[in-house]
Structure 1
């Protein structure tokens, strides 16, 4: 499973951060399905760009360590969240999109840690 990040292709961190910020302020206005669909698609794409790199980095950790276990657990949850889609309930869709935003933020912070070291 290769990623753009692992292949040295730059990750557009600023675009990812703007998308995350947009998703996390959704409740400040009425929920609109088209906006939720757009944000879900963007977040899903961002996660798919950096998730493989996070998985590869985690697999290089000592298996059985606390860090490996916590990262693997979180990565499994992120992968499951990406597979879910929007439903019929506006509030459920809001929760799903904000969960993807938080997942993307977690992955992006891990990516930034790696880039700075």
Structure 2
């Protein structure tokens, strides 16, 4: 998996932050399937853009350190969440989108700080 940032493709940090913010305020209004589907697709795309960079940075850590283990397991969980699609239960879908938003936020903070994935 190549990093788009490493390939010189800019990461649109502001768009990602706006998407994360939209996803995290969904609970304040009635659930709409179309909006959940749209946000889920955007968040999965954002994760796809910045996950490779986090994986590369984690791979450079000593493979036995606590930091490597915590980052590797978190990145594995994020990758699994991003592969999981929406289902038939509205509340479960909302929880899934909120989880993707938090995952994307974690990756984005690591990307912008460059200290941790």
Q: Indicate the TM-score class for this superposition, using the shorter chain for normalisation.
A: over 0.9
Output one character per residue of 1:8-27: Cα deviation in whole Å (capped at 9) or x when no partner.
Answer: 32100000000000000001
Determine the structure 1 residue equivalent to 2:87.
87
CA spacing shift, 1:55–1:108, aligned 2, 3 Å: same
TM-score normalised by L of structure 2: 0.96
Unaligned stretches of 5+ in structure 2? none
Question: Which stretches of structure 1, 4 residues or more, deviate above 2 A after TM superposition?
Answer: none
Q: CA deviation at 1:114?
A: 1.4
Aligned length: 115
Determine the structure 1 residue equivalent to 2:55.
55
Match of 2:114, SS? helix
Unaligned stretches of 5+ in structure 1? none
TM-score normalised by L of structure 1: 0.96
Q: CA deviation at 1:29?
A: 0.3
Over the residues paired in the alignment, what is the CA RMSD in angstroms? 1.0
Q: Distance in 2 between matches of 1:34 and 1:109?
A: 28
Q: Residue 10 in 1 paired to residue 28 in 2?
A: no
